[in-house]
Amino acid sequence: MGLIHMRAPGATEATHQWPGLLGVLGLTSPEFESRMSEALDVVEDRLRDCLRNAPEPGFAALSDRLARADDGRLRPLLVLFGAEFGKSWGDGVIQAAVMVELLHISSVAGAHPSTAPGTDWLLARSAQLAAGLGPHALRLNAQTAGRLVGGQLRQLAGPAPGEDPVAHYFEVTAGATAAVLSLSLGVGALQAATPDRWVQDLIGYGEHLGAALHIADDLLVATAPAADTGDASARDPFAPSPGLPALLARTDTTARGAELRRLLTTGAMTGATRQRALELLRTAPATRRAETALHQRLTAAVAAVGGLPSVPARRALYALVDFVALRTSRIG
């Protein structure tokens, strides 16, 4: 999910390396924003040092591309946010941020043929860092790595015979962005000696936000005016692993959804048939249902952290939710 395509009203310009990711949140505490930016700089230095010793030279280049992406270093930033609810920061917070980003890089690298063979090294290095943070962090790391691998395998395999494709979609989603975001907030909070109940609240927020980001991506793909341009780099809303709007459209029994359902269930779409399906999907009842699912997840994310102290980090978590809601409200 991209997070820096636009700047939120009232956002201040940061003077450090991360003005987009932090600035788009519209934070009102310059001191907090400055501390987060400086901490991200330290994370970046340590990440580069770590990848310098990687057996696959492509990892460093991949990491740099991820840093420049729309949501560059969102996961380390969430580690820092999680630590803000604890008693005090230690060096373990920075180590945890590097650990989760290595796990994220391994997930992305696994989808690229040029770097996939070396992903075991990334997983092992991430686990080494987690081991240095204590048994709870190591357990969270192992659980998340298992969820990522399981999610990728489930996506490749597709729904089992008789399995609900929408239920399968949410299982895959839980083993992707949601898994890493919940780890990021949870392990950051643990490294700052955050009370257990708050750690669980932050983990819950990460689960809901991760699912929401996945749905939001699907909605933006399904409704993008450029979706029918034939751009090979664009995601296909009708791919073998389709997004939520297309999945819901396959089972839409409303009169408005009948034509699209027929197009989606009668074989491959090409030319005029595909163009018509794209037009229908943008305004289909199924797409509206996907928007409802998105906002349910965003509402649940807000509720998850409603009992946390009212510190700048909580306002930043709310701002992430607001931004996703604002960006997808422009759909249609």
pLDDT (tens digit per residue) in 120-158: 899 999 999 999 999 999 999 999 999 988 888 888 888
- Cα 316 to the chain's mean position, in Å? 16
Mean pLDDT of 174-198: 95
What CA–CA distance (Å, rounded) separates 36 from 144? Answer: 24
What CA–CA distance (Å, rounded) separates 201 from 14? Answer: 29
Residues 6+ apart with CB under 8 A from 314: 85, 305, 308
Q: Could you tell me the pLDDT band of residue 225, with boundaries at 50, 70 and 90?
A: low
What CA–CA distance (Å, rounded) separates 329 from 323? Answer: 10
pLDDT tens-place string over residues 232-282? 345 677 777 789 999 999 988 888 889 999 888 887 777 788 888 888 999
Q: What is the pTM of this model?
A: 0.86
What CA–CA distance (Å, rounded) separates 12 from 5? Answer: 15
pLDDT of the residue at 66? 82
pLDDT of the residue at 8? 31
Nearest to 219 by CA among 296, 302, 327: 327
What CA–CA distance (Å, rounded) separates 298 from 322? Answer: 8
Helix (H), strand (E) counts: the chain: 15, 0
pLDDT of the residue at 130? 96
Least confident range of 165-169, 189-193, 221-225, 285-289: 221-225
> Strand (E) positions, 280-324?
none
Residue 233: helix, strand or coil by DSSP?
coil
What CA–CA distance (Å, rounded) separates 147 from 151? Answer: 6
* Residue 63 structure tokens: 């990491």
What burial letters (b/e) apply to 147-166, b meaning 16+ CB within 10 Å?
bbbebbebbeeebeeeeebb
What CA–CA distance (Å, rounded) separates 284 from 304? Answer: 31
Which CATH class name applies to 19-328? mainly alpha
pLDDT of the residue at 193? 94
pLDDT of the residue at 141? 94
What CA–CA distance (Å, rounded) separates 31 from 38? Answer: 11
Mean pLDDT of 65-75: 79
pLDDT of the residue at 331? 60
Using an 8 Å Cβ cutoff, are 225 and 330 in contact?
Answer: no
- Domain map of the chain by residue range? 19-328
pLDDT: which is higher, 67 or 198:
198
